[in-house]
Structure 1
Amino acid sequence: MGKYDHLYEKTIASQPIYDGRIIKVKVDEVLLPNGNTAKREIVNHQGAVAVLPLTDDGKMVVVRQFRKPLECTIVEIPAGKLEIGEEALACAKRELEEETGYVAENYTLLSSFYTSPGFADELLHVFVATGLTKGESRPDEDEFVDVLELTLDEAHDLHRTGEIRDAKTVVALYAWENKVLRERG
């Protein structure tokens, strides 16, 4: 018996709903710890990476793009889905170059976290990239982005106005601010 077995929900039935290019959706019937049953709507995702690119002159490289689920344009750090069997670091390098044109000499894993564990199993790996060299971006054929370089103050302004509002970019923004504050002593 494990330490947290009293919280475990045993799957007693699973119904696939959708099998797409990015996500799979299913509904599981589970046996609850108290003996009752419940339904859980679950989104399966390959996992993804995001990159906090920092220039030598203290700016964060971001992209502005339209996000259909939100019906608006937001500013985000570069990110993308892992391909089957792809290592997170290789994906981070690919996504940074494709979306922004930048190539980095150094990558450090900042954190890996589940984006919405209440309904999805997506694990996001966030890297900090430094030693940047600017090149030519090559976004996917269905991806349209503007590349921006922001100071910490500019990034906070965009967060206050709601242009930065996705979890990975907010986490990256505060991790960057924490790094700057530690360096100042």
Structure 2
Amino acid sequence: MDKHQNPWKIHSSETKYENNWIRITHNEGLNPAGNPGIYGVVHFKNVAIGVLALDEEMNTYLVGQFRFPLNRFSWELPEGGGALDEDPLDAAKRELLEETGLVASEWELLTRIDTSNSVTDETAVVFLARGLHQGESEPEETEQLTIRKVPFEEAYRMVQDMEITDSISVAAIQRMKLRLLGY
């Protein structure tokens, strides 16, 4: 058998829950060993979007907010969701403006990641934004945000000290640090 093909043999799939953002599917069939097995999948109806904004002095912008699923406050990059049929760059521009009031004149794809490939199909696209100027933020009604402007090296330290644990933020900040080191 080709190791790049799905070894699961699915006999039934049933949607157990669905809302505007996710769908949870229960799958039954045979696992890779040929034994009966189940697999639950959380399908995301949006692409996760992140923005690492860097100004001329190498400061970046963090967004702090209470994250309901974690039941705790989290520091992270400006993030949000983009419709599956929307250009991720357009979504990134919107999210940066909504959450920080920043507008960037230079954009570059920084990374793409699978956020948690064991139970979800969520993917994230993260951009580097430069050439910043301040506008007016427009947070969504579900967001109560705190914005911090910090030196990039401080954000990197926060990742190293596990003060930033959001997977999209960690991946983007680590990737940028490697770029700055010449990798």
TM-score (norm: length of structure 2) = 0.91
What runs of 5+ residues in structure 1 fail to find an aligned partner?
A: none
Tell me if the contact between 1:111 and 1:127 (Cα under 8 Å) persists in the aligned partners: yes
Change (3 A) 1:3 1:161: closer
Letter in 2 for 1:42: V
Counting aligned pairs with the same residue, the percent is: 35
Question: 1:50 & 1:119 partners in 2: Cα distance?
Answer: 21
Q: Does 1:80 align with 2:75?
A: no
Question: 2:65 & 2:154 partners in 1: Cα distance?
Answer: 17
Q: Deviations over 1:112-155 (max 9, x none)?
A: 11111110000111111111111111000111111111113321
Corresponding position of 2:30: 31
Corresponding position of 1:169: 169
Corresponding position of 2:40: 41
Question: 1:180 & 1:148 partners in 2: Cα distance?
Answer: 22
Question: 1:141 & 1:130 partners in 2: Cα distance?
Answer: 27
Tell me if the contact between 1:63 and 1:75 (Cα under 8 Å) persists in the aligned partners: yes
Deviation at 1:161, TM superposition (A): 4.7
Question: 1:3 & 1:155 partners in 2: Cα distance?
Answer: 39
Q: Does 1:17 align with 2:16?
A: yes
Letter in 1 for 2:131: G
Deviation at 1:32, TM superposition (A): 2.5
Alignment RMSD: 1.9
Q: SS of 2:83's equivalent? A: coil
Q: Which has the higher helix share?
A: 1
Give aligned pairs, total.
Answer: 182
Change (3 A) 1:33 1:72: closer
What runs of 5+ residues in structure 2 fail to find an aligned partner?
A: none
Q: SS of 1:182's equivalent? A: coil
TM-score (norm: length of structure 1) = 0.90
Letter in 2 for 1:24: R
Tell me if the contact between 1:62 and 1:147 (Cα under 8 Å) persists in the aligned partners: yes
Q: Deviations over 1:57-109 (max 9, x none)?
A: 10111111111112211110011111252111111111011011001111111
Letter in 2 for 1:62: L
